């Protein structure tokens, strides 16, 4: 996963990038983020972290975002596969254009074929965790 950060309106640092594929938060988010912040901004190593939280990542098998319609006026946007901070803004713009009557750009994403992760209800999450671990190990080697 990539690290993302920006300066907030009140001049704080918003820094993130850790995710959980398993559905549980297996680490102390503040401690882990502090180490990542120190790699990017060494002079902030001892700065107090006021807020820390974790979340889930919604991954699609093809890693492309999944856009669609549930009804003529009901849209969904999901599956940003760890790139939500980058893609959510443009996704919102595309769905707003579609709602306003110009759906050409939204429809490009809606046409991307998607399928469910293999494994069904009971084995989908364990299979995903193992697959992400495998690819992370490959990245390290």
Q: Which tens digit of pLDDT belongs to each residue from 49-100?
A: 888 877 777 788 888 999 999 998 899 999 988 788 778 999 999 999 999 9
The answer to whether residue 51 is domain-embedded is no
- How much is the pTM? 0.67
Same domain? For 71 and 134 the reply is yes
CB atoms within 10 A of CB 124: 13
Same domain? For 37 and 81 the reply is no
Same domain? For 81 and 129 the reply is yes
The answer to whether residue 57 is domain-embedded is no
The answer to whether residue 49 is domain-embedded is no
Taking the mean position of all CA atoms in its chain, how far away is CA 67? Answer: 15
Determine the Cα angle at 55 with ends 78 and 47, to 5°.
130
Same domain? For 21 and 81 the reply is no
């Amino acid at each position: 996963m990539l690290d993302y950060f920006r300066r907030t309106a009140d001049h704080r640092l918003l820094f993130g990038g850790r995710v959980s594929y398993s559905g549980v938060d297996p680490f102390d988010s503040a401690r882990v983020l502090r180490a990542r912040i120190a790699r990017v901004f060494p002079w902030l190593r001892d700065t107090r972290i006021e807020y820390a939280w974790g979340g889930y990542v919604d991954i699609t098998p093809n890693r492309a975002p999944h856009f669609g319609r549930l009804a003529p006026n009901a849209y969904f946007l999901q599956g940003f596969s760890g790139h939500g901070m980058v893609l959510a803004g443009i996704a919102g713009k595309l769905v707003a254009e579609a709602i306003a009557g110009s759906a050409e750009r939204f429809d490009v994403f809606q046409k991307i074929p998607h399928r469910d992760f293999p494994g069904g209800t009971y084995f989908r999450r364990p299979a995903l965790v193992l697959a992400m671990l495998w690819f992370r190990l490959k990245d390290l080697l």
